[in-house]
């Protein structure tokens, strides 16, 4: 593995059962991501963006081909090993937030840290920092049902970044945010990207996100149709 190579997929194909047959969501994808990238996968609805993020996040398996994440081939990983890699090295922002409704904002953002060895004090500081990044310091005790859609999305963003992971996979992270919040969150992400070399991979339709990308990969019908480096 090249030192800087963090994720690669080779001849990646993903098929889902559909009726009596199957549907090919990803069709022979080859891509390599390097440490410190600020990259986005764009393309029409249904083109396979979420499916690709789920596979490189080790949440789903290829039907054919391979995904290698931090030197580990998805073929060799048990469910438990994949979970360990996610827990240690990755943060996820899901298109559907996936917040835990019975927990407060603070507890939702704290969740990824509970499995890591940290003192209560360190954990509290990390959570409050992450909630400050997303502008929710005044809502720490609220529960998801008491928040707006955009606020829920910001809790999900704080949760993904709270442990300062090596890789953040962000599926439409700004879909419910106004321009000011999107801008502020993208700036925070860029800061982490610069200072900690955090690798960000987005799936997005949002021009505000796209304008910040350094690399734009376009998927059409489960294939890479363009892969461009963008000069900022």
Ligand X SMILES: Nc1ncnc2c1ncn2[C@@H]1O[C@H](COP(=O)(O)OP(=O)(O)OP(=O)(O)O)[C@@H](O)[C@H]1O
- Which stretches of the chain bind Mg ion, using CB under 5 A? 49-50
Could you tell which of ligand X, Mg ion, none binds residue 45, using a CB distance below 5 to 8 A set by kind?
ligand X
Smallest distance from Mg ion to CB 226, Å: 18
Residue with tokens 């690709």: 52
In the complex with Mg ion, which residue's Cβ is closer, 182 or 204?
A: 204
- The answer to whether 205 and 174 have CB atoms below 8 angstroms apart is no
Smallest distance from ligand X to CB 159, Å: 20
Q: How far is it, in rounded angstroms, from Cα 140 to Cα 232?
A: 35
Strand partners, 107: none
Smallest distance from ligand X to CB 178, Å: 20
| Footprint of ligand X (CB under 6 A) | 16, 23, 25, 43, 45-51, 95, 203
Measured in whole angstroms, the distance separating CA 161 from the mean position of its chain's CA atoms is: 10
| Residue whose CB is nearest to Mg ion in the complex, by number | 50
In the complex with Mg ion, which residue's Cβ is closer, 49 or 163?
A: 49
- Alpha carbon distances (Å) from 157 to 123, 173, 220: 17, 7, 27
Smallest distance from ligand X to CB 44, Å: 7
Q: How far is it, in rounded angstroms, from Cα 168 to Cα 158?
A: 11
Smallest distance from ligand X to CB 62, Å: 13
Could you tell which of Mg ion, ligand X, none binds residue 149, using a CB distance below 5 to 8 A set by kind?
none
- The answer to whether 159 and 91 have CB atoms below 8 angstroms apart is yes
Could you tell which of ligand X, Mg ion, none binds residue 48, using a CB distance below 5 to 8 A set by kind?
ligand X
Residue with tokens 């194909």: 13
């Amino acid at each position: 593995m090249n030192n800087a190579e963090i994720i690669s997929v080779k001849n990646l194909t993903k098929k889902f059962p559909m009726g009596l047959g199957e549907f090919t969501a990803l069709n022979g994808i080859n891509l390599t991501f390097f440490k410190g990238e600020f990259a986005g996968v764009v393309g029409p609805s249904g083109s396979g963006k979420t499916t690709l993020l789920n596979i490189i996040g080790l949440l789903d398996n290829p039907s054919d081909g391979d995904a290698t994440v931090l030197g580990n081939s998805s073929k060799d990983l048990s469910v438990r090993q994949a979970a360990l890699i996610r827990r240690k090295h990755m943060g996820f922002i899901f298109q559907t937030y996936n917040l835990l409704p019975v927990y407060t904002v603070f507890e939702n953002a704290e969740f990824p840290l509970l499995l890591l060895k940290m003192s209560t004090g360190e954990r509290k500081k990390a959570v409050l920092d992450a909630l400050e990044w997303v502008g929710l310091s005044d809502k720490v005790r609220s529960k998801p049902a008491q928040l707006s859609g955009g606020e829920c999305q910001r809790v999900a963003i704080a949760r993904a970044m709270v442990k300062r992971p090596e890789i953040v996979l962000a599926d439409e992270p700004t879909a419910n945010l106004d321009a000011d919040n999107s801008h502020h969150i993208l700036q925070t992400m860029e800061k982490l990207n610069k200072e900690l070399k955090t690798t960000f991979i987005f799936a997005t339709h949002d021009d505000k996100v796209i304008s910040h990308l350094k690399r734009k990969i376009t998927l059409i019908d489960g294939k890479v149709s363009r892969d461009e480096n963008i000069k900022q």
